Chain A
């Protein structure tokens, strides 16, 4: 059974179709890359999947359960969690407290939550930052904090929205390694990314969106050799 099925999902804002008729499914343990030019509807799709917007049409099925209309907190409890393209640290809380907020969805005990949080900080290699204020971190560490906090909710599916955006190449490489480490632990991930080289390296399959519609889907090799993708990204004159 696929862990996530997107069936004919559309999202309209007034007359504008931010997503129209998008369908694909994900198997347990895979990394799905989600790419497309700016405004293609990638983040809107994330919002539809995680309960921030109800889809206007279509269904989101997670682990066999229909998710339409569920609120984000319920979605998180069921095991699906997202990070934010524009990072959202809880600025006046320490790094470990930030991650603890994530862990507390699974426990009421602060001590257990702290242990769980420290474990995730180790995964993102930020144990030494535990007592720093989250608001004072540089962007690279804020992005990793987002990931640690999401992981602390013990998800079955992790949705990463441009975790490499705005990072330098060394930091991006670190994130790529992190995503592969998380995959090695068996966690399923959906990744929105602009950096083509990065997305090629980590994805098992890639879905390409343009103007809200699914253009194509396939392995990284299939996608880069697809004429429609080349047109959409580079413009027809380059073809």
Chain B
């Protein structure tokens, strides 16, 4: 009981901290990083519901991310629909897509489902490139002005700074976490895990396999779509590779796989590792850091080499990281943390 209260207290303190961050932090860059973190948490956790709990490894979640992002942006661009309305159009579109995909792809098991899910995302990407009248094709859609959000006459926010996005992102991340928590502690979660562990056994215990797989897919797809819409509005630009590319799908999976599948905190840990890492690699922060602590001199051959190449190598380093995690932490960071904790407990006993 004491432990639970401690956990709740820590949770409340962290939450309160997150709520007041924009009051004290003015740096747009810091806020930007936090927003990316929230986005990553909600992406990873959305995937977790289908991939981690129900064991259906979709490598095509870009389809839902992209359809959400595109629907909201297209409506804003061509019909001047406000994004907080467009988001729901995106959700509706994604539910339709998910049900079509689910009813076809869930006939397949294991690697065949994975392949089908990739194919679906590719179909979406190619459609976005070729349906130029709707999507602007490869040029993408750029919307820089978001109408102010009003309740009655009062302007709540005009979206001119990053602060409103910070709060929307935080809300989105908390919402996905809450839904994952609810799933885990409900009949749904038990049924998802039963399907993951043994589909035939689950079937014999009265679980309608395709119904529950589709429920998992729809929950996961809707949350991914919300993340996609948020991304589109925040960045102000979508084009096929950035929201529908295969690497988007892979990125979404990796957050969860590296963090720990089928756990509430796995995607959070995964995001805490991957978002700063990918940012540090991209912005050459690592090279600068190495120079600063004196490990490498800026003018030496190694220093120049790193400066030149490290930023471009972030995909490679990502890949190496995945291999390391899978080799040494098959249950992800979260599984590793749990193992350490239980080992300490055993040693103490």
Contacts and interface: CB of A to CB of B under 8 A. Distances in A.
Interface of A: 50, 52, 71-74, 76-77, 81-82, 84, 88-93, 97, 100-102, 104-105, 108, 110, 113, 149-150, 153
Given A91-B197, A92-B197, A104 B204 contact: no
Interface string B162-190: 00000000000000000000000111001
A189 B206 CA distance: 18
Contacts of B191: 101, 104
Contact of A90 (B198, B206, B208, B209): B198
A113 B209 CA distance: 20
Interface residues of B, number: 20
A16 B194 CA distance: 33
B207 interface: yes
A149 B206 contact: no
A37 to B, nearest CB: 25
7 contacts: A50-B204, A52-B200, A71-B203, A90-B198, A101-B193, A101-B207, A113-B187
B277 interface: no
A89 B202 CA distance: 10
A150 B205 CA distance: 7
Given A92-B193, A104-B187, A110-B185, A84 B206 contact: no
A209 B23 CA distance: 78
A74 B210 CA distance: 13
Given A76-B206, A108-B187, A110-B185, A101 B200 contact: no
Given A100-B190, A101-B190, A104-B191, A76 B205 contact: yes
A90 B186 CA distance: 17
A101 B204 contact: no
Nearest to A82: B204
Given A104-B187, A110-B185, A110-B187, A88 B208 contact: no
B201 interface: yes
B203 A73 contact: yes
Contacts of A153: 205-206
Contacts of A150: 205
A81 B203 CA distance: 10
Contact of B190 (A81, A92, A104): A104
Q: Which of B191, B200, B201 has the most CB of A within 10 A?
A: B201
Nearest to A84: B201
B190 A102 contact: no
